[in-house]
Amino acid sequence: MTTTALTAAAKTQAGARSALRRAPRGRTGRAWVWAAAGVAVLVLIPVAALLWQAVQGSEGLWSHLWAHVLLPALGQSLILLGGVGVVVIALGTSLAWLVARHDFPGRRILDWALLLPLAVPSYIIAFVYLDLMHPLGPVQDTLRAILGYASPRDFRLPDIRSMPGAIGLLGLVLYPYVYLPVRAMFAMQAAGLLEAGRMLGCSRRALFWRLALPLARPAIAVGASLALMEALNDIGASEFLGVRTLTVSVYSTWVTRSDLPGAAQIALVMLVVVAGLVALERLGRRRQRFAGGAQRLRPVTPLRLHGLRGWLAFGLGALPVLLGFGVPLAWLISESVTRIGTAGISAQLRTETLNTLLLSAGATIAVLTGGALVAFAARLRPGAVTAGIGRLASLGYAMPGTVIALGVLVPVAGLDRLIDTGARALFDAGPGLLLLGSGIALGYAYFVRFLAISIGGIESGFSQIPRSLDHAARCLGHGPGASFRRLHLPLTRPALAAAALLVFVDSMKELSATLLLRPVGVETLATHLYGEAARGTYEEGAVAALAIVAAGIAPVIALARLGRRKSTMVG
């Protein structure tokens, strides 16, 4: 290369560096970070309000709650979490091993079908099985007819309204939280490790217990902690099945006894339980880097199961799908067809569907906006500050909906009173409960609860965009705002769409926060179903339940496709 060419190249590089320095990154970049910090503050406000409200109770309140409410509820919650943990770990891990390490007829179907129970909220599966397993329901009627009994007094199954019933039903819909990460971990473990174990004389059973399972412990811990958080957040299934958990106690203390400080104190105990589950997940991930190192080796070849063994494997794998998704879906379709055929779709149900769609859509827009602010601030200024902001903004997903609703109520009700007082002083008329009565408070609870989904999805989309494109945009004189609108948003549309779908469906399914913060006289599909189940009129709520399940199938299918794509890349 000639001296002239070298000089020109040096000038070009110097000009690019000068343009990067002149680009308006400083002030605008700080503005994005401050905006992201504001989003994190919005998430922390309910926690601070909960702490403040908890200290407002009388001196004897805590001792009364501890003796008569907290101890029984805490005991029931820990038993439920322990039982659900055993069920989801056993089911999720065994099914993941079956699908990832064996080849049999129908394996490709089971690979994605085992995720379908995620589409059925826990309160809906309880709603369905309470009717199916009722002493006068179809299951027990059929058994009595087969066995020759004429009356429920002569033969009846154990009542499903019990702790074992709650553990079993919650386990059926929550095991995919363990199945999905553990299946990926088993698929990424290398054949070389297993071959080394076989050369050392280990049987297949010993390879699972002594090699594959220890390497999968981080994935098991992550999945189990998520499943247990969902079990702790549940209010419908636990109440329907007669299990008085901490979540049910918060609801009854607040709504039935009108004791807001007492409910706040119980909610703080729930936060302690959640912190323990998060600590469990962190502890399980300590060796994740070691466990993940096997990805670079040759993947394992599944063991082929022929004939009867293959079909038996398919039957065992299909059973959780049948019980956790197939039976509830078939019952809901049957009851919905009967209900629509005799009475049609009521105007009330259409109104509730519209309420659900409007609330979920508004929450989705707010959550995506907040998530984009936090994720883009982290991309503009990577470091400890923006990473900390992202972690704080994601705290809401670890908090049960009941806790968030209680934390939201205190500041929003105070702001409502302030607005009403100011309006009356200026105009002799006030709007009343402007924020609580318009659904803004409920949207705020959705925002806090589901912001982590948006942040994670958008950060995943940003990670696919090379940093060189950011530098090129700055060289062309575009500030962060312009590059976000013209570059990052168009390139992250698939990630934004996936995050929007997840947030929208989760908002539709959310029951605990909706029960506590919905405006007076406003019902959603979830609260309608809760009311019908509480009255025992199961056929009336079937249409609403079917709509919720149908909406939940879409993100499950997307999740299955993503998992299949990752497995293909690993293979």
User: Do residues 113 and 175 make contact, with C-beta atoms less than 8 angstroms apart?
Assistant: no
Only one residue has tokens 């940003």, namely 462
Nearest-angstrom CA–CA distance, 508 and 501: 11
What percent of the chain is modeled with pLDDT above 90?
Answer: 18
Q: What is the pLDDT of residue 170?
A: 94
Q: What is the pTM of this model?
A: 0.82
Per-residue pLDDT tens for 188-221? 665 556 656 666 666 667 677 777 777 778 888 8
pLDDT of residue 143: 86
Of 64-68, 282-286, 289-293, 368-372, the poorest mean pLDDT is in 289-293
- Region 228-256: what's the mean pLDDT? 84
* Residues 493-522, mean pLDDT to the nearest whole number: 86
8 A C-beta contact, residue 500 and residue 297: no
Let me know if the fold of 23-56+345-536 is the same as that of 58-329.
yes
Q: Where residue 464 falls among pLDDT bands split at 50, 70, 90?
A: confident
pLDDT of residue 199: 62
| Per-residue pLDDT tens digits for 16-34 | 445 444 444 445 578 888 9
Q: What is the spatial distance between Cα 550 and Cα 369, in angstroms, rounded to a whole number?
A: 26
Higher pLDDT, 304 or 5: 304
* SS3 of residue 120 by DSSP: coil
Residue 315 has pLDDT above 90, yes or no: yes
Report the Cα 486 to chain-centroid distance in Å: 31
- Alpha-carbon distance values, 45 to 42, 385, 405, 408 (Å): 5, 19, 12, 8
pLDDT at residue 69, rounded to an integer: 78
Question: Does the pLDDT value for residue 3 go beyond 70?
Answer: no
Domains of the chain, by residue range, sit at 23-56+345-536, 58-329
**pLDDT tens, 93-151?**
999 989 988 888 988 899 889 989 988 888 889 888 988 888 888 888 888 888 888 77
Lowest pLDDT segment from 3-7, 26-30, 68-72, 285-289: 3-7
What is the arithmetic mean of pLDDT over 414-441?
84
- Under CATH, what is the fold of the domain 23-56+345-536? MetI-like fold (1.10.3720)
What is the homologous superfamily of the domain 58-329 according to CATH? MetI-like (1.10.3720.10)
